[in-house]
Structure 1
């Protein structure tokens, strides 16, 4: 069962060269949707409508994509797929308008135009959507992700798409997360899951005192990671960007305000699993989709969401294999 929630389907498209990809989450009819953004460099679609002040309550799909701002175009394909099936807000004349929330990461597709997810790729992800558990690692939106870039990209690890599910008192919360963070990944007990591949005493962002992306001849590689998740970021060759994006899905019955609170508190999972999190160069954004089949308190849902998000953040890199010049934690050691 995809993300542990009945009726939820997840599909992915991955570029043939593994540079980028996109992932779509398709909930059952009537699902309440919301988004919370804590990163300072986000790239999103329908964030205002799905925000706490937005009038929209039902969300028909969520897209998580690579390709930076170019990747937002993949949501057009998701909208086309939903419209063809009559899914969306009904207007006069039989017209339907789907609400598709989207968020992006800056990956290698910025430098490789042919790999950027677009409308056809978003549509293909919908065609591939199923009720089965999603794949993890370097697939879909996780294909071009990297993590632990605090000492420079050359000392980082491959990131990826991670999935986790938590349940209590009849309530289930699932999370799917693309980990492309600048930060290093830490376990619940404080041990390192993915740390920059340099000596412990080497200065790391932000403690080296310079903004992320500022040239630093004293750093290990002479060039700390640059770029961000927004269209205004510096586009350099290779996977230089940052950001963690994801979608929390629950069977709980929530209002729009409560769904936003779950998405917002779900970011606690990022703070638990990344050092640092929510930086000026991260565009961290989380959606929440509530299918509304079980009564639950918002505090319980938010607690489970934070745990699931933290686990999913760790699982993406753990399932990723190395490619080109960066290793993966799933490689044989």
Structure 2
């Protein structure tokens, strides 16, 4: 027995020594929630709603929380072919009581549903931890897909970000554009990369008599945003007057259906291999007292109307979800349910239009003169993630970038793209989107990597040789 115990002890000591000699794996610092936002915001008068946003710049990604201090009656309408939601089954039970405390929208695909748990736990903390039935926090939510082709890390909204968004809430203000859950959204990819543009979250408000109607949306649509004159709102860096109409774009698309060239490309003009997972999340809030069935019909009517503002809409690649809630405060007899739905539908269109970020200034197409020696300094291999690498090389006076595989929405598989210099360090990728790329240097002047679209939607790469 002593011998057996001795062998076990020796094995245990040996394993401990081996662990001590094995270097600990390097850990990536945890992302830090940012709740201070700047830029455009919708200012409105609806004190029964409190809204908070929080973001991880390391993603970039974010979460948006709508908190109702007195609770709301809520319904849901799920239309998209790829939804991901939490606690929506409870909203289909027709209970007339105001038992929903908050709605959570987040990026991060299904991982982002964890933000809703953080929101619920934050509410529990604020309620002094009471376990009484009436004090249990009910949070419903949904997410968008903002991973994959647009960024190459795995930073996603989580419990901590949900709590941070709840703590940051305030009344009567809603950040617009690339904020919160809309931090890294896109729209328009169905029609090809020239129309695949960044979008964001939008909001609009209207009051009719005593009835208040607010609509908030996170636009991450496969379809493109369309204004009331049928014009495509954003394509590349062109203004709304230079993008053409949706009717023209659809006619062009229909004409290619079934063509051999299209069959080779696939079912969409999007670059093969690029993820097209898309979703538009919407919340309609009114203070009008409504029976549960009327609130559900409001959700259906408004959701259907969004097919005017986003075309196409509710595709198999979209996870579209709309929540409708009532704070149950006024009884405006002069406003019928269909009229309320009509007005709310117009407010929803306004909300979608406000989601598009302000246009960046046109990119300079003036080619800068950069000497061969400087271009050679940029030549090398770069890592966007452990699984995604690209090569940069000089050919004569041109600098080319290429990935062995598809590099998201930025580079085609196996096809080199020119980096057109606009300064000694700044370049424009010769792709349909015209993405910007800037090489980074350390204090000694050595090239350490590059950043695509530095600013709100940065995608960073590290030089590995």
- In structure 1, which of residues 295, 307, 319 is the aligned counterpart of residue 331 of structure 2? 295
SS of 1:138 mapped into structure 2: coil
CA contact (8 A) 2:195 2:234 kept: no
| Alpha-carbon separation, structure 2, partners of 1:48 and 1:88 | 25
- Alpha carbons of 1:64 and 1:85: their partners in 2 closer, same or farther (altered >3 Å)? same
For residues 300-327 of structure 1, give each alpha carbon's deviation from its aligned partner in whole angstroms, at most 9, with x where no partner exists. Answer: 33222211111111111144769x9657
The TM-score, its normalising length taken from structure 1, stands at 0.81
- Matching of residues 216-235 of structure 1 within 5 Å: 216=265, 222-223=271-272, 225-226=274-275
Q: Which runs of 5+ in 2 are unaligned?
A: 1-41, 362-408, 411-432, 436-455, 457-465
| Alpha-carbon separation, structure 1, partners of 2:203 and 2:296 | 20
SS of 2:316 mapped into structure 1: coil
Deviation at 1:170, TM superposition (A): 2.1
Residues 1:108 and 2:126 aligned together: no
CA contact (8 A) 2:285 2:326 kept: yes
SS of 1:299 mapped into structure 2: helix
Name 2:65's counterpart in structure 1.
Answer: 24
Name 1:5's counterpart in structure 2.
Answer: 46
Over the aligned positions, Cα root-mean-square deviation in angstroms equals 3.4
Deviation at 1:159, TM superposition (A): 0.9
Deviation at 1:65, TM superposition (A): 0.6
- The structure richer in strand per residue is 2
For residues 11-42 of structure 1, give each alpha carbon's deviation from its aligned partner in whole angstroms, at most 9, with x where no partner exists. Answer: 10111146211100001313211111111211
Name 1:261's counterpart in structure 2.
Answer: 297
- Alpha carbons of 1:85 and 1:217: their partners in 2 closer, same or farther (altered >3 Å)? closer
Name 1:124's counterpart in structure 2.
Answer: 164
Deviation at 1:209, TM superposition (A): 5.4
SS of 2:175 mapped into structure 1: coil
Residues 1:278 and 2:278 aligned together: no
Name 1:48's counterpart in structure 2.
Answer: 89
Deviation at 1:85, TM superposition (A): 2.1
- Alpha carbons of 1:37 and 1:65: their partners in 2 closer, same or farther (altered >3 Å)? same
| Alpha-carbon separation, structure 1, partners of 2:45 and 2:53 | 17
- Specify which structure has the bigger relative contact order, considering alpha-carbon pairs within 8 angstroms and separated by 6 or more residues: 1
- Matching of residues 244-259 of structure 1 within 5 Å: 244-259=280-295
- Matching of residues 111-190 of structure 1 within 5 Å: 112=152, 114-153=154-193, 155-190=195-230
For residues 178-228 of structure 1, give each alpha carbon's deviation from its aligned partner in whole angstroms, at most 9, with x where no partner exists. Answer: 000011111112222135789966954897459xxx9717976642753xx
- Alpha carbons of 1:192 and 1:225: their partners in 2 closer, same or farther (altered >3 Å)? same
CA contact (8 A) 2:73 2:96 kept: no
- Alpha carbons of 1:78 and 1:320: their partners in 2 closer, same or farther (altered >3 Å)? farther
- Alpha carbons of 1:89 and 1:268: their partners in 2 closer, same or farther (altered >3 Å)? farther
Shifted more, 153-162 versus 119-128: the winner is 153-162
SS of 2:217 mapped into structure 1: strand
CA contact (8 A) 2:222 2:279 kept: yes
| Alpha-carbon separation, structure 2, partners of 1:206 and 1:279 | 20
Deviation at 1:288, TM superposition (A): 1.2
| Alpha-carbon separation, structure 1, partners of 2:129 and 2:284 | 21
CA contact (8 A) 1:153 1:225 kept: no
- In structure 1, which of residues 36, 41, 49 is the aligned counterpart of residue 77 of structure 2? 36
CA contact (8 A) 2:282 2:322 kept: yes
- Alpha carbons of 1:29 and 1:225: their partners in 2 closer, same or farther (altered >3 Å)? same
Q: Which runs of 5+ in 1 are unaligned?
A: 227-239
Shifted more, 79-88 versus 119-128: the winner is 79-88
SS of 1:116 mapped into structure 2: coil
SS of 1:278 mapped into structure 2: coil
| Alpha-carbon separation, structure 2, partners of 1:20 and 1:320 | 20
